[in-house]
Amino acid sequence: MNTLDCRAHRCPHPVVETRKLLLAEPDAELTVLVGDETARENVSRLAAGKGYKVRVEDTEGGFALVLIPSEQPVETTGPAVQGKTVAFISSDAMGNGSDELGRLLMKNFLFTLTELETAPDVLLFVNAGVKLTCEGSEALEALEKLACMGSDIASCGLCLDYFHLKDKLAAGRTTNMLDIAETLQKAGRTIRP
């Protein structure tokens, strides 16, 4: 049985690393050590969603999650999505409340996209979201990796002009509202963080 020790890490790290191991060895039992209840719940939900039985035990510094593969495959339901997956990012922060926390969440969201089996086909950045694609952004590493995975990264030219960032664009290309509207209209799925 493999053991993954994530007690020193906060989410999304335990979920991302667990997912990698579950995909690499889908028939192997795995013990994941996590340090807090949030990671315990998130890893348990991931494993259950992939058809694993989850046994939770208290352990030094947190919890031990024993993930046992199910003998029956998980059923997938619903029709396949037709069209591209488009992430529409209209802010440099995710959610409302604390701007500092929102920027951290957005950065984590973009890095987590790089860990998915399939990256979004297109990432559209508008309004303050264009700040993420410019020099000095902490999200540039994630955006570069997404581009290498085949994602089209496009920032609104009007928005870049508004924030005086047109010459600071560091990831992807400049686009316009017609292209944004057509991309959204043809999308099979739209993600709005």
pLDDT at site 80: 65
Q: Which of the listed residues 69, 99, 124 is the one where a domain comes to its end?
A: 69
Reduce the DSSP state of residue 56 to 3 states and report it: strand
- Is 144 inside a domain boundary? yes
- Is 74 inside a domain boundary? no
Q: pLDDT exceeding 90 applies to what percent of the chain? A: 73
List Cβ neighbours of 53 (8 Å cut-off, separation of 6 or more): 67, 68, 70
Q: DSSP assignment, residue 152?
A: E
CA distance 143 to 124: 12
Whether 97 and 58 map to the same domain: the answer is no
Residue 59 reports pLDDT greater than 70: yes
> How many domains, the chain?
2
Res. 127 pLDDT band, cuts 50 70 90: very high
Rounded-to-10 torsion of CA 173, 178, 179, 182 = 160
Res. 12 pLDDT band, cuts 50 70 90: confident
Angle 134-175-80 (CA atoms, 0-180°, nearest 5)? 100
pLDDT at site 35: 94
Whether 36 and 91 map to the same domain: the answer is no
Q: What is the DSSP string of 64-97?
A: EEEEEE-SSPPPP-SPPPPS-EEEEE--SS-SSS
Q: Which of 9-18, 82-91, 149-158, 174-183 has the lowest mean pLDDT?
A: 9-18
Residue 79 reports pLDDT greater than 70: no
Rounded-to-10 torsion of CA 18, 22, 23, 25 = 130
Higher pLDDT, 120 or 72: 120
Q: Which of the listed residues 19, 42, 69 is the one where a domain comes to its end?
A: 69
pLDDT in tens, 88-115: 999 999 999 999 999 999 999 999 999 8
CA dihedral sign of residues 85, 23, 36, 70: positive
Amino acid at 168: K
pLDDT at site 81: 66
Higher pLDDT, 60 or 75: 60
What pTM was estimated for this model as a whole?
Answer: 0.70
Residue 141 reports pLDDT greater than 80: yes
Q: pLDDT exceeding 70 applies to what percent of the chain? A: 95
CA distance 163 to 93: 16
